[in-house]
């Protein structure tokens, strides 16, 4: 599993290398032949499956006839940054497919919009709640795997403590605040944590009440990640049992953005949400 410190940097690099190749009039196969590489190497680089070494970038740019030294230096720096290992590298053996991709994107994002249908969003979970979820989840994990997955989830939350932290907007179906994950005490503490974070800056929390009935998130949870660079496309991330998915085609992302806007419109306001959380917390026996 390749480690990705800066997936956004990698995407920028890949897009530029692809553009330079196409402008030079080469196919992927022709580039591989010219550079005496395996015939799939250029494909793996341009699809982000392989992080190009700075030396790879140098020879590719030379082949493409790119002589701008400042431009070349910038691309080589992107290659170096995209290959750095993040803190999660030591957990790579237990991370689900593409999960490290999400962590890297969260670290780069300027805004994170998340909808959860049945559970509290990972960035807002307490440690005990996260442990109960992992233990009762769909995968058969041993005690050490559960412990390490919980460590990753809690460490992910450090992104919200950065000076340039992303703005977090979380919408939760009412079912998530009533599901007794981990027992009464764990759930009470989790709801109190939601109250605390909902009063902090850059975090907006809303609940979609049962009274709304069917809504635009009924088919499942998703996360929309946005970036400060206007040239960087938004990305939608979804977790599934069979493997996690990332979508970045603008027309596909737009569908999720529209769904999130509809959820915001029917959800309780942040103040009404806090009132519901207080009531739910008090109702726990």
Domains, the chain: 7-82 (1.10.260.40), 87-283 (3.30.870)
- pLDDT tens by residue, 191-233: 999 999 998 878 999 999 999 999 999 999 999 999 887 667 8
Report which listed range, 41-55, 92-106, 173-187, is most confident. Answer: 173-187
H or E element that contains 125: none
Residue 210 burial by CB count (10 A; 0-12/13-18/19+): exposed, middle or buried?
exposed
Whether pLDDT at 1 is above 50: no
Whether pLDDT at 4 is above 50: no
pTM as predicted: 0.74
**DSSP secondary structure, 139-206, as one string:** S---HHHHHHHHHHHHHHGGGGGSTTPPEEEEEEEHHHHHS-TT-HHHHHHHHHHHHHHHTSTTEEEE
Residue 130 burial by CB count (10 A; 0-12/13-18/19+): exposed, middle or buried?
buried
Q: State the pLDDT at residue 88.
A: 53
Whether pLDDT at 87 is above 70: no
Q: State the pLDDT at residue 249.
A: 86
Alpha helices in the chain (DSSP H): 7-24, 28-34, 41-46, 54-63, 69-82, 99-108, 127-136, 143-156, 174-178, 184-198, 250-266, 270-283
Whether pLDDT at 20 is above 70: yes
Parallel/antiparallel/unpaired status of strands 222-226 and 111-116: antiparallel
List phi, psi (to 5°) of 151: -60, -45
Q: State the pLDDT at residue 34.
A: 93
Tell me the residue length of the chain. Answer: 285
Q: State the pLDDT at residue 13.
A: 82
- Of residues 55 and 91, more confidence is placed in 55
Please name every residue paired with 223 in a beta bridge, in sequence order, or none if there are none.
114, 237
Whether pLDDT at 94 is above 60: no
Q: State the pLDDT at residue 224.
A: 96
Report which listed range, 1-5, 90-94, 154-158, is most confident. Answer: 154-158
Question: What is the pLDDT confidence band of residue 2, given thresholds at 50, 70 and 90?
Answer: very low
Give the percent of the chain with pLDDT over 70: 89
């Amino acid at each position: 599993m390749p480690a990705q410190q800066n997936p956004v940097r990698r995407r920028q690099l890949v897009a530029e290398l692809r553009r330079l190749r196409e402008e030079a009039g080469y196919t992927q196969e022709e580039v591989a032949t010219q550079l005496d590489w395996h015939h799939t190497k250029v494909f793996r680089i341009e699809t982000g499956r392989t992080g190009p070494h700075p030396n790879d970038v140098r020879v590719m740019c030379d082949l493409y006839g790119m002589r701008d030294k400042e431009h070349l230096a910038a691309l080589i720096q992107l290659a170096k940054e995209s290959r750095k290992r993040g803190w999660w590298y030591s957990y790579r053996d237990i991370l689900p497919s593409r999960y490290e991709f999400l962590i890297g994107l969260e670290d780069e994002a300027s805004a994170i919009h998340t909808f959860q249908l049945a559970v509290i969003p990972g960035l807002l979970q307490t440690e005990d709640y996260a442990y109960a979820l992992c233990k009762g989840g769909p995968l058969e994990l041993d005690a050490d795997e559960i412990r390490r997955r919980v460590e990753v989830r809690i460490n992910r939350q450090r992104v919200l403590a950065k000076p340039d932290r992303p703005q977090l907007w979380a919408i939760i179906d009412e079912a998530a605040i009533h599901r007794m994950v981990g027992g009464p005490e764990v759930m009470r503490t989790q709801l109190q944590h939601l109250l605390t974070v909902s009063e902090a800056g850059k975090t907006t929390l809303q609940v979609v009440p049962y009274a709304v009935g069917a809504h635009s998130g009924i088919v499942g949870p998703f996360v929309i990640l946005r970036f400060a660079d206007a040239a960087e496309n938004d990305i939608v991330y979804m977790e599934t049992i069979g493997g996690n998915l990332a979508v970045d085609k603008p027309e596909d992302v737009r569908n999720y953005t529209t769904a999130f806007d509809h959820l915001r419109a029917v959800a309780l306001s942040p103040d009404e949400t806090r009132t519901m959380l207080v009531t739910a917390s008090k109702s726990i026996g």
